[in-house]
Amino acid sequence: MRAKPFISGSLLAGVLTLSVPALALGLGKLTVNSGLGQPLSAQIELTAAQRDELDSLRARIADPSVYRDNGAQYVGALARARITVEQGANASYLRVTTAAPVNEPFLNLIIELSWASGRVVRDYTFLLDPPGVTEMQAIEPAAP
């Protein structure tokens, strides 16, 4: 008769020690597709995104007060930035765009992401190169 409680207790202890990693929606890598003096065009990966989370997902640029609290500079061009959730071939991502050109080479982008069961805030800092700089760097030098 003692075997039954022992087995139940062992089973419970085994289940409690078994750890399964919890996947949570998050913000991943930022890819910038625009240059200095152009409207911002960027993509931010959404990591571990589940369909039900995407349905209730809201993303926005943080308020200027959040920038101040974090010691970051808020650029006026971000005031009317548009963030949309897009579905790529293999993953979901945020598309961040502005209608106005961004003339500051050094940019802080603080994204606030919220959904039914969570919230994430992430700060991205990057430099905007003048248009054409990356193409010029890719040019091979002429042979002597």
Q: Which two tokens stand for residue 90?
A: 């293999």
pLDDT confidence of residue 37: 94
44 vs 88: which has the higher pLDDT: 44
Q: Percent of the chain beyond pLDDT 90? A: 53
Q: What homologous superfamily does CATH list for 21-135?
A: Immunoglobulins (2.60.40.10)
Q: Residue 29 belongs to what H/E stretch?
A: strand 26-32
Q: Exposure of 61 by Cβ count < 10 A (0-12 exposed, 13-18 middle, 19+ buried)?
A: buried
Domain ranges of the chain: 21-135
SS3 content of the chain, % helix, strand, coil (to 5): 25, 40, 35
What pLDDT, in 10s, does the model give residues 34-80?
A: 999 999 999 999 998 888 788 889 999 999 999 999 999 999 889 89
